[in-house]
Amino acid sequence: MTNPVSPSGPADLTPARIVQLLDQYIIGQTAAKRSVAVAVRNRWRRQQLNEELRQEVNPKNILMIGPTGVGKTEIARRLAKITGAPFIKVEATKFTEVGYYGRDVESMIRELVENAIVLVKKELQIQNEATATQRCEERLLDLLCGPPPHSAHSQRTELASDMSADESNDDGATESGMESAKSIETDSYAKLRSKMHSKLRAGQLEERVVEFRIEQKSSPMMFGALGGDHMDRDMQSMLEKFMPKSSKTKKALVKDARKVLFEQEFEKLLDEDQVNSQAIALAENLGIIFLDEIDKLVASEGKGADVSRQGVQRDLLPLVEGTIVNTRYGQVRTDHILFVAAGAFHKHQPSDLMPELQGRFPIRVELSNLIEDDYVRILSEPSSSLTRQYAALLETEGVRLDFTADGIRQIARHAFQLNQTTQNIGARRLHTLLERILEEISFTAPDHQGRITTVDAAYVDARLKDLLADQDLSRFIL
């Protein structure tokens, strides 16, 4: 199997490196970062083992527990980007028990395979790029020059004369070749083609219009109407097979046609069965499923919707334990897929989950509550921190936003205090606070081009004064 994992290669992705990469976005929460990093590394380690032992090594699934807004989902999101392995994040609350209306848990395995297919195709794209590009170029030349002589004479004549018209004098050979013997005709066609080739390469034909056929997939909208949002994907693909494939002619500029033709040629180079089996192997061996909001699967009373939630827990068991799921791409064994579950567990405890399910998440990591210093760092350190986001947004209006150190400290202090006195919503508090602090300037920015706004402690307090004075009001707005 080709190596579909990130360009730097999984060998470079040591636990320390993973933590380092996560550190760029998430402040603190070292224990959680370390355990996901080790779990990801273990996938790679297992790949190095001999076949026999490899079958024995099952992943140790992880349960991340922590209050709301402290980075659980953020860790998953970032991990997805850096692993290069098939990875999906799903909300446990989206599933319904098998037999009920809605998405059943097996759909996440299908989603994981789809994700793997994207990865495999990306890898193959790199391998096949040169061939596809070349074929795409040939197709463009076919379109620009018309088919070779003796196949569709008239069309070519038309195009060739069109060409001599706008290339003025130097096309005499092409013109005369047309009425001559076959060999000369072929010869002149070759000339035309090679001339067009150089022009194409030189980017001189980008604005030419070409006409080509594209195949149209039957509209998924139609099936959407038939089966609603939840219609089974496999069912959908089956229906698609029965639908007549239609193709239509499309006119486009060379520069736009190139993208479509490249896709077509690239798809032709792919062996679908091979892609599917590679993707399945990849998903089975390196796949990671992040199950968010798992605490919401705990039934409180055992009535109504809760019964179905308990059912979802039961449905999850075989998947996490290892089973075979049928997908349209083939059968998928789930034994070695890594599951990382996360939940706030503020109403319930992990021990409220079904005992069998608890047992399948042996690694527990707790994420800690954030304190004032953490908020300062969250606001200032990550390259895409909130303060940088706001500054960049306002810069588009020509307004400069300067956050001073004491301004950031003040925001962090308020965030921490509000989390203490009202509800603790973690770092999400920073979003509500900043929105409030910058409301005025956000609204009026278009009228203040060239202005520099300094967000220091005084500015922060001035903006929040009224709200902070009134507990009820701050509960409501901040």
Q: Which stretch binds Mg ion (CB under 5 A): 43-51, 72-80, 210-218, 469-477?
A: 72-80
Is 74 a binding residue for ligand ATP by CB under 6 A? The answer is yes
Residue 456 interacting entry, from Mg ion, ligand ATP, none, C-beta within 5 to 8 Å by type = none
Is 417 a binding residue for Mg ion by CB under 5 A? The answer is no
Cα-atom radius of gyration of the chain, to the nearest Å?
Answer: 30
Burial of 428 (0-12, 13-18, 19+ CB in 10 A): middle
Question: Which residues, in sequence order, are CB contacts of 145 under 8 Å at separation 6+?
Answer: 156, 159, 160, 189, 192, 193, 196
Q: Nearest residue by C-beta to Mg ion? A: 73
Q: Which residue in 4, 10, 59, 71 binds ligand ATP (CB under 6 A)?
A: 71
Q: Which stretch binds ligand ATP (CB under 6 A): 52-60, 65-73, 241-249, 299-307?
A: 65-73
Is 186 a binding residue for Mg ion by CB under 5 A? The answer is no
Question: Least separation, in Å, of the C-beta of 369 and Mg ion?
Answer: 15
Question: Least separation, in Å, of the C-beta of 256 and ligand ATP?
Answer: 37
Q: Which residue in 4, 10, 69, 407 binds ligand ATP (CB under 6 A)?
A: 69
Q: Mark 214-253 with x for binding to ligand ATP (rule: CB under 6 A) and - for no binding.
A: ----------------------------------------
Q: Which is nearer to ligand ATP, 63 or 109 (CB)?
A: 63
d(CA 113, CA 234): 13
Helices (H) and strands (E) in the chain, counts: 21, 11
Is 428 a binding residue for ligand ATP by CB under 6 A? The answer is yes
Question: Least separation, in Å, of the C-beta of 72 and ligand ATP?
Answer: 3
Q: Mark 25-44 with x for binding to ligand ATP (rule: CB under 6 A) and - for no binding.
A: -xxxx---------------
Q: Which is nearer to ligand ATP, 114 or 381 (CB)?
A: 381
Question: Least separation, in Å, of the C-beta of 68 and Mg ion?
Answer: 7
- Grouping H, G, I as helix, E, B as strand and the rest as coil, residue 253 is strand
Question: Which residues, in sequence order, are CB contacts of 96 under 8 Å at separation 6+?
Answer: 102, 103, 104, 308, 311, 312
Question: Least separation, in Å, of the C-beta of 378 and ligand ATP?
Answer: 4
Q: Which stretch binds Mg ion (CB under 5 A): 68-76, 345-353, 391-399, 448-456?
A: 68-76
Q: Which stretch binds Mg ion (CB under 5 A): 67-75, 297-305, 318-326, 435-443?
A: 67-75
Question: Least separation, in Å, of the C-beta of 72 and Mg ion?
Answer: 5
Residue 426 interacting entry, from Mg ion, ligand ATP, none, C-beta within 5 to 8 Å by type = ligand ATP
Residues 337-396 binding ligand ATP (CB under 6 A) are: 344, 378
Question: Least separation, in Å, of the C-beta of 359 and ligand ATP?
Answer: 23
Total of chain residues touching Mg ion, rule CB under 5 A: 2
Question: Least separation, in Å, of the C-beta of 14 and ligand ATP?
Answer: 22
d(CA 325, CA 444): 55
Is 298 a binding residue for ligand ATP by CB under 6 A? The answer is no
d(CA 78, CA 25): 8
Question: Least separation, in Å, of the C-beta of 91 and Mg ion?
Answer: 9
Q: Which is nearer to ligand ATP, 70 or 467 (CB)?
A: 70
d(CA 449, CA 394): 10
End-to-end CA distance of the chain: 53
Q: Which is nearer to ligand ATP, 40 or 92 (CB)?
A: 92
Q: Which is nearer to ligand ATP, 91 or 129 (CB)?
A: 91
Q: Which is nearer to ligand ATP, 262 or 290 (CB)?
A: 290
Total of chain residues touching ligand ATP, rule CB under 6 A: 17
Residues 73-112 binding Mg ion (CB under 5 A) are: 73
Q: Which residues bind Mg ion (CB under 5 A)?
A: 72-73
Interaction site with ligand ATP (CB under 6 A)? 26-29, 66, 68-74, 344, 378, 426-428
